[in-house]
Structures are given as structure tokens and as C-alpha cells.
Amino acid sequence: MSRLTIERKVLEKNDAIANDIRSSLKENNIFAINLVSSPGSGKTSLVEKTIEFAKGRIKIAVIEGDVQTDLDAQRIEALNIPVIQIVTNGACHLEAGLVRDAYYQLNKDTIELLIIENVGNLVCPSGYDLGEELKVVILSTTEGDDKPLKYPAMFRNSSILIINKIDLVPYTHCSLEKLRSNALSINPALIIFETSCTTGEGIDLWCNWLESQLKHQ
């Protein structure tokens, strides 16, 4: 019982901070997305492709979360994009307090889209609100088509599913049709994109949709 009480208090504090972040984002007309996935799904590659596509059209900043190193942040910085690295030193997810500290280091007047790249994990990040407008779960075809059934909370709490590395389908046992069906059985409202950061397939559809959301905001 005491463990449940502690967990509830942790989440309540996190949610309060997340609401503060959300209020600030709205005041500054910043659209924030929280990218979640298992390690190796291609999150950083997708961020790079999104930046390349939107260059000159959308003002982007990135908050990078990693257990160790700033290697991903270096990749984003090379594209001349404002980026703040969060190293969790072993923690398996980002919390709102960490994101708040990183967010307030950014110049909000120069941001339209804030991309939060979470720590690679399909479990813990599903339960933590970071103040984002929506969660985007990325799943690579190399992980198989059963992941939505194994990690339902992540897919239930996400608004977007990006099926990445579709160019590798011929070399895997992944069925795109089955993967889509499994994901929609968990969350029928999921919007699904299929992408390849190697061939560029589907990147335009994802980025055009993202840009349309900013215009609506």
C-alpha cells in the first residue's frame, strides 16, 4: 500500500509540472511532441529527416533524453538546431522536472515545434506526461508485429504510430498489415505513418501532417 502511495505522489508531482510546461508552451505557441520507442527504432534518424524536410519552414528545437552520452544531441547540433541534452544516468524515462529544466534553457521566441526524444523504452515513458501535445510511438519493422500487444499502455497513450524501417520488411518476419491491426486493436484512434529514413519513403507524409497540426494551432 505504501508503495502505491509513493508512486501516486510521484506521478501527481510529475503531472503538476507537466501542466506548467503545457501552459508555457501554449502561451508561446509552441507545439511539442514526445517521441517514444524501444532502443534502435530510428528515433534520432527520424528527427534528423524531419528537420531536413522542415528546414526553412518550421522553427524546431530538440530536447534529447539518453541514459548516457550526448551522441544523439551531437547529431542534431550538426544540423544547426537548438538542442538540450538530458542524461538520466540510468533512469529509464524522462520526467517532467527534467524536461522543464531543459525547456527553460531554450529561446522560446524562436521555436514553433519542440521535439522531445525520450529514452528508449516501451514501458516507463508511457505513464509520464511531459507537457507535450501528443505522444508519437515509433516502432521499427525489425522489432516484429506483436509489440503493440506486448506493450499496450504505450500504444494506448500515444496519438501517432510511426512504423519505421519499412525498407527492411523483406528481411524480417514482420507483417505490416498485422502490425497495423494489432496497434489499432489497442487504440483504434491511432494515426499511422510508414517510413524509411534510408529511402525517404513516407517522410513527406509524416512531415506534412505535422506541419498541418502547427497551422491548426
- Give mean pLDDT, residues 10-19: 92
Q: How many domains does the chain divide into? A: 1
Give the three-state DSSP class for 148: helix
Decide if pLDDT at 50 tops 90.
yes
In terms of phi and psi (left: phi > 0; alpha: psi -120 to 50; beta: otherwise), the region of 142 is alpha
The domain that contains 205 carries what CATH number? 3.40.50.300
Q: Which pLDDT score is estimated for 2? A: 53
Q: Domain of residue 56: give its range.
A: 2-216
45, 95, 141 from 134: Cα distances, Å: 20, 15, 22
CA-to-CA distance for 149 and 143, rounded, in angstroms? Answer: 12
Whole-angstrom distance between the N-terminal and C-terminal Cα of the chain? 42
Residue in 91, 54, 81, 42 with CA at minimum distance from that of residue 209: 54
Instruction: State the burial class of residue 122 (Cβ atoms within 10 Å of its Cβ: 0-12, 13-18, 19+).
Output: buried
pLDDT band at 61 (very low <50, low <70, confident <90, very high): very high
The vertex-110 CA angle with 129 and 84, nearest 5°, equals 50
**pLDDT tens column, 179-214:** 999 999 999 999 999 999 999 999 999 999 999 999
Are the CB atoms for 113 and 33 separated by under 8 Å?
A: yes
DSSP string, 44-97: HHHHHHHHHHHTTTS-EEEEEEESS-SHHHHHHHTTT--EEEEE-TT-SS--HH
- Sequence-distant (6+) residues with CB within 8 A of 28 are 108, 109, 111
Tell me: pLDDT of 3 over 60: no
pLDDT of residue 1: 42
Residue linked to cell 534510408: 198
What mean pLDDT is predicted for residues 122-137? 94
Is the pLDDT score of 46 beyond 50?
A: yes
Whether residue 79 is predicted with pLDDT greater than 50 in this model: the reply is: yes
3-state DSSP assignment of residue 32: strand
* Segment holding 36, helix H or strand E: strand 31-37
pLDDT confidence of residue 7? 59
C-alpha cell at 148: 503493440
Query: What number is the average pLDDT over the span 134-154?
Result: 97
Instruction: Report residue 56: phi and psi, to 5°.
Output: 85, -10
